[in-house]
């Protein structure tokens, strides 16, 4: 370690600051630099380091392998023990790895963190940041953030680049600043710059796009932004609040809260979570000050459950909520309904931040054979909030009679049973 190469722009990692943010295009060595700095600091003094990502379904999706590689490159194998799920230093330093979106309750209970490194932080949601930041509360603790930006309205970019916290160190770093950047990739970057300058600015130079390539609601989001329809939308106590659901348990459950005022659809709130039974979401509804109207569930809420004689719709109606079922139509037709309705929607930018992040990132899948965008939406983390919005559009465009729920069936504890 007598002669360690290190990006000059990341020298700030060795100086104290509550927030250290590095962003930029591909090839900037952000992850390498962060990993090296943490290993060097962890060798000098005992640290507890949380390495977090928004999505981490296994240790293979974490920074574990990168840190293990850097331990070898830095000649620190005698100081660190690389275990299957942790990395331990001989002086008591510990690296632990967690996903935020699907494991936020575990993150919330994590104590004594000195440094939290949030890697690939572009997609971190507002709700994840709101839980994580106060969790890193040890005196002198730091939050390190590395990511490649895509949209100016992504929560991480807004929170830490456009309006960074007081005292934050924010560094833009690119491939030109990377001492390990290979000549092959240098030529790739220069070729893209000559062929498609706009794409080069995003991929290699770290500039934000206005909308994502293949974004399904691209035109609608641009029009709403120009018309300032992502703003503050207060609750109108004289109008009922209707909710629109996409159900999941292994996947995300997403709920939009909307009011109809004249010819406007006012989207005042949004909630998403994973791994909870129906009772959790009903309790969340009850924490709000809203007077509710109809609760629109997707058509599969009427499916019979193997473990219960009561459907999700029956369970919800039994608690006194007015349940309706969204008409079942094709995905493409539902997307068209969403596009049509979008021009009449006003969104509360703060309360709906996570839902809006889903809508901005909802995009078409790429056909493996042609390399072109297909007609099918990509199923990923943005799908659930976008599907719930699609149901909202279908329900409000084509109102139906209230669903008749048979309350005589035996109560059961089904798939989302309360």
What's the pLDDT at 83? 95
pLDDT by residue (tens digit) across 285-317?
Answer: 999 999 999 999 999 898 866 455 788 999 999
pLDDT by residue (tens digit) across 166-220?
Answer: 989 999 998 888 877 888 888 888 888 888 877 787 788 877 877 788 899 999 9
| Residue 1: both structure tokens together | 């370690």
Q: What angle do CA 27, 182, 10 make, to 5 degrees?
A: 45
What's the pLDDT at 26? 83
Confidence of residue 404 (pLDDT cuts 50, 70, 90): very low
Which of 190, 200, 171, 179 shows the shortest CA–CA distance to 24?
Answer: 171
Residue ranges and CATH numbers for the domains of the chain are 8-198 (3.40.50.300), 218-397 (3.30.420.280)
**pTM here?**
0.77
Confidence of residue 410 (pLDDT cuts 50, 70, 90): very low
**Pairwise CA distance, residues 279 & 288, whole Å:** 15
pLDDT by residue (tens digit) across 51-100?
Answer: 999 988 778 878 999 999 999 999 999 999 999 999 999 999 999 999 89
- For the chain, the residue count is 418
Tell me the percentage of the chain whose pLDDT exceeds 70: 92
pLDDT by residue (tens digit) across 321-361?
Answer: 999 999 999 999 999 999 999 999 999 999 999 999 999 99
Which of 214, 217, 216, 218 shows the shortest CA–CA distance to 366?
Answer: 214
Q: Which residue has the higher pLDDT, 253 or 178?
A: 253
Residue 403 has pLDDT above 60, yes or no: no
What's the pLDDT at 206? 79
User: DSSP letters of 233-268?
Assistant: ----TTSPEEEEEE--SSSEEEEEEEEEETTEEEEE
Rg (CA), the chain: 24
């Amino acid at each position: 370690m007598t002669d360690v190469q290190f990006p000059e722009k990341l020298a700030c990692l060795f100086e104290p600051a509550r927030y250290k943010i590095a962003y930029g295009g591909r090839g900037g060595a952000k992850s390498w630099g962060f990993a090296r700095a943490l290993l060097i600091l962890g060798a000098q003094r005992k640290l507890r380091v949380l390495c977090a990502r928004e999505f981490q379904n296994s240790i293979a999706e974490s920074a574990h392998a990168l840190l293990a590689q850097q331990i070898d490159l830095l000649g620190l194998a005698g100081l660190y023990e690389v275990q299957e799920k942790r990395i331990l230093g001989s002086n008591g330093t510990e690296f632990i790895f967690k996903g935020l979106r699907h494991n936020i309750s575990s993150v919330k209970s994590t104590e004594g963190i000195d440094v939290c490194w949030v890697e690939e932080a572009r997609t971190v949601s507002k709700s994840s940041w709101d839980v994580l930041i106060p969790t890193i509360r040890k005196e002198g603790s730091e939050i390190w953030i590395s990511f490649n930006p895509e949209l100016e309205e992504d929560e991480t970019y807004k929170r830490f680049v456009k309006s960074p916290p007081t005292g934050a160190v924010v560094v833009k770093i690119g491939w030109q600043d990377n001492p390990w950047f290979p000549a092959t990739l240098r030529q790739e970057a220069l070729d893209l710059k000559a062929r498609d300058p706009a794409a080069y600015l995003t991929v290699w130079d770290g500039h934000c796009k206005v909308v994502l390539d293949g974004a399904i609601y691209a035109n609608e989001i641009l029009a709403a932004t120009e018309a300032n329809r992502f703003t503050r939308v207060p609750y109108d106590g004289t109008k009922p609040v209707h909710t629109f659901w996409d159900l999941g348990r292994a996947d995300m459950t997403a709920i939009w809260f909307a009011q109809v005022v004249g010819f406007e659809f006012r989207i005042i709130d949004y909630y998403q979570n994973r791994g909870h039974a129906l009772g959790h979401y009903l309790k969340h509804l009850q924490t709000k000050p809203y007077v509710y109207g109809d609760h629109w569930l997707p058509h599969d809420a009427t499916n019979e459950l193997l473990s219960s004689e009561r459907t999700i719709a029956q369970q919800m109606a039994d608690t006194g909520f007015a349940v309706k079922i969204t008409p079942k139509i094709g995905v493409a037709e539902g997307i068209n309904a969403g596009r049509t309705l979008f021009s009449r929607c006003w969104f509360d930018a703060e309360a709906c931040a996570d839902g809006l992040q889903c809508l901005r990132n909802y995009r078409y899948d790429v056909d493996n054979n042609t390399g072109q965008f297909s007609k099918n939406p990509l199923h990923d983390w943005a799908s659930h909030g976008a599907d719930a919005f699609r149901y909202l559009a279908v329900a409000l465009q084509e109102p139906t009679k209230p669903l008749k729920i048979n309350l005589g069936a035996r109560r059961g504890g089904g798939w989302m049973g309360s």
